[in-house]
């Protein structure tokens, strides 16, 4: 866990919103490669956005049960710092991709009950970070970015030996309470900074980063470089 708390803005797809996230002090930016998502970004656009962000924030590529062909193409074109695996990827698949690409792995796991937290154990030895997101509503086509949350009390006092990140139903209003209740300082947002499905809003991005910083005492005084290398 970072002492200052990391802030990730996921699902960016335009230069304007990327620059808003970077100017606000986001530590990580997320680019989505999933055809069913309204945040899906063309490869050439993602590569261009990644170059603007490189050295200013960690670059995260989000995929959902992607095959080797897509992952090879994405890693080659975008050159991300992280692969965020947001599907049903097994611990073995995480280990395989980490070795294949020599890249840090963030595994997202859906949570609705305590047993979902326990299901994280097999991943610990094979990933660099775990992201706890709310399980999608019944019938949803997206594994994340649905604007729903879970009981943050399930995370209180949790220490799994790898850095943890919290997502699901966060926005500028709820992030402070989420950090206080769950005790996870590193946060990820997508729908909570949108004015429409898949459409990021620059003011909402700024407000979220500011609220996330206020949620962690002393965060605003800590150098942003710590987050970029985390």
Angle at which helix 91-101 crosses helix 68-78, to 10 degrees, equals: 40
Q: Is 94 a catalytic residue?
A: no
Residue 67's φ and ψ, nearest 5 degrees, are -85, 170
What is the secondary structure of 154-196 as a DSSP string? GGTT---SS-EEE-SS--TTTHHHHHHHH----EEESGGGEEE
- Among the options 10, 94, 171, 188, which is catalytic? 10
Q: Is 133 a catalytic residue?
A: yes
Structural contact between residues 170 and 148, judged by C-beta atoms closer than 8 angstroms: no
Reduce the secondary structure of 198-213 to three states and give it as a string.
CEECHHHHHHHHHHHH
- Among the options 81, 133, 171, 188, which is catalytic? 133
Instruction: Extract the runs of DSSP E, i.e. beta strands, from the chain.
Output: 7-9, 28-33, 58-63, 82-85, 104-111, 129-134, 164-166, 187-189, 194-196, 199-200
Cβ neighbourhood burial of 64 (10 Å; 0-12, 13-18, 19+): buried
Residue 49, both tokens: 């956005």
Intra-chain end-to-end CA distance of the chain, in Å: 9
**Mind telling me the catalytic residues?**
10, 133
């Amino acid at each position: 866990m970072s002492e200052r708390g990391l802030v990730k803005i996921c699902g960016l797809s335009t230069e304007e919103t990327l620059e808003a996230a970077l100017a606000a002090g986001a530590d990580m930016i997320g680019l989505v490669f999933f055809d069913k998502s309204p945040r899906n970004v063309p490869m050439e656009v993602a590569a261009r956005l990644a170059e603007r962000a490189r050295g200013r924030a960690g670059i995260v590529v989000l995929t959902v049960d992607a095959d080797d062909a897509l992952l090879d193409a994405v890693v080659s074109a975008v050159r991300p710092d992280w692969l965020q695996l947001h599907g049903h990827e097994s611990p073995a698949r995480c280990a395989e991709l980490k070795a294949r690409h020599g890249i840090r792995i963030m595994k997202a796991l859906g949570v609705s009950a305590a047993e979902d937290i326990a299901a994280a154990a097999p991943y610990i030895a094979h990933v660099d970070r775990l992201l706890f997101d709310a399980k999608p509503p019944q019938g949803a086509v997206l594994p994340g970015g649905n604007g729903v949350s879970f009981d943050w009390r399930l995370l209180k006092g949790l220490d799994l030996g790898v850095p943890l990140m919290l997502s699901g139903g966060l926005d500028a209003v709820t992030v402070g309470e989420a950090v206080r209740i769950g005790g996870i300082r590193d946060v990820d947002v997508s729908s909570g900074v949108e004015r429409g499905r898949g459409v990021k809003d620059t003011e909402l991005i700024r407000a979220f980063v500011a609220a996330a910083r206020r949620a962690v005492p002393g965060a605003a005084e800590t150098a942003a470089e710590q987050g970029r290398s985390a």
